[in-house]
Structure 1
Amino acid sequence: MDSSSETALLANDPPHVAVARDLLAWYDVHARQLPWRAPPGTPPSEPYRVWLSEVMLQQTTVAAVKAYFAAFIERWPSVMDLAAAPDADVMAAWAGLGYYARARNLLACAREVSARGGVFPSTEEELRALPGLGAYTAAAVAAIAFGQRAVVVDANVERVVARLFALEDALPGARPRIRELADRITPDARAGDFAQAMMDLGATVCTSRNPRCLLCPISADCAGRMSGEPERFPVKAPKKAKPRRQGRAFWIEREIGGEPHVLTVRREGKGMLGGMRALPDDGWSAKGDGHAEPPLAGAWEPLGRVEHVFTHFTLELGVSGWLGADAPLEQMARDIDGEWWPLARIDEAGLPTLFARAARLGLT
């Protein structure tokens, strides 16, 4: 949008007020029914449920989160219950949801809130002080759980605002300006409903491809629609090619008590897939390839390869299976602080997606 168009929308109250008014009226009728959300116009949702859902929803779809949210709420119905849970149980329950630093932050935050008597602070500033709560999550919890006026900007809101103002600045550099413009249209009342309405609009109407402008409640004020090219916004800087890394994982199987077991390890608490149970590997990382050396000298069989796309790199992981005798395995397991996991219960191990796929190669 050129400066004159932007000024026209924000120069006086009626257009600014109309956006919030029309969007909230639409939300009252078309709000998505989600297990962590209170209906439009009702008292705010319970803070624990809002916080838990917002952490899960970071870089993850609503469809993927629903089952995980339900499982967490059933197993740990309050923040005090979650705070008392063993780390390994929570990390295993999170397996498959990705971005595992979120699970570590989830536990740290739950324990901090538990130390406060199980009561979440109600202001955006106080919420920011909790472990793992960035600007977005703190604003979302303040607005949705406590009815505070806060500016909530996720990827859906970014898209709606960039189109509403036909913002020519490219992401990610445009984010401060997008937040400023979102602040200008956020009402003092029903800020939580407004935030969720913006999210719903972006998820169901103002979609990244083929936006349904004829169904949009704020299309009359949308400069992107008026330009005839709403899909052009938000403008994005060219993507850099992701580096490719190489690594190896090791499938080491033996019988214990007449039942087959596979060797697993617990990854370090920090870093890539930190704290998760996994197969032994060769030390690959986001910064470089693994050393390719197995944890034990002897006969190994190539079982196949899996490819996994992380946020900042792509990993090609070869999987090798042990063909040697059982004799040296016990000492090797102790050396790497390993755990023999029953194959019959491998689905309960809580392996992250990468290693679950590698395990399937070992099971075939």
Structure 2
Amino acid sequence: MMGRGDGPGAGAAGGPTRHVPVLLEEVCEALDARRGGAYVDGTFGAGGYTRAILDANPKNGVLAIDRDPDAIAGGAALVSRFKRRLTLVQGRFGQLDEIVRAEGLETVDGVVLDIGVSSMQLDEAERGFSFRSDGPLDMRMEREGPSAADLVNEASEAELADIFYHYGEERRARAVARAIVEARRRQVFRTTGQLAELVASLIRQEPGGIHPATRVFQGLRIAVNDELGELVRALHAAERILKPGGRLVVVTFHSLEDRIVKQFFAARTGRSPSASRHLPGLAAPAPTFEAVTRGPVLPGEDEIARNPRARSSKLRAGSRTGMPPQAPLSAITMLAELPQTADKRGGRR
């Protein structure tokens, strides 16, 4: 997963950066940031997109949002540099329309969302997002609420299996969940190393493949932070806050995220099957977006060579029409939730 870092030379806090924003030129082009206006960076991170938007036009202003208090603290130098053109707020991008209005704006010219964990979080062992270095099993973006350790030690075997299978797309979800429940009877899970070691004992790593614990950690992180639910809420919030002609640009790194964004734009641009096909006499809702990109925009070979974390990224974008926002889409809301399913034997996944 790629983070939201700054470009070469300086980080958001003014020092050397470890973080390179993905598809930076493509994001600015899709946002049409050169025209000038008010923009929302819903996933500030280390400020890579925010800085590029502010540099694109001296009349641009950015309201940047991040859940992570460390990101807010790290952005102080950037706020000082751009003075009144940049406002940085700690909050969830699923509430971006409420945050925008609380800052005195009714509409904005563009919204950009870079979904997933940031490089800063992934690379710091004490945050507990990664199995690369041993650290506390935490994964909380806001450093508040139940942690990954709480979930691993307290959730039922069925719930853990659903998390690993649905959010992590781990094929051996049931086996991993069963082993966790058995192991925690002897000793509670406190560190990333404990969990990674257990998973690696169950799943064989293919030559040149990803670490065996990758999908399990991904599933836990998504569950702990309700990442897919936040994405669904953010898409609808952007629809409510964008002015006609305003752009929504979303960069994803995982098939679950991209599926939600793809279905949202398909429905809102009128490209998905309409209810009127099945219920004659009911007109299809007027499109609230026009497509800016036809299919996903992918990173080029040069960018992937410079930044391997960009490999799985996809960009999709739409331009707001003048039609009123529609009711939330139940289809993508369901994609963000754990399915309440049962197999033929009556047990959950």
TM bracket, shorter-chain basis: under 0.3
Bigger CA radius of gyration: 1
TM-score, L = length of structure 2: 0.24
TM-score, L = length of structure 1: 0.24
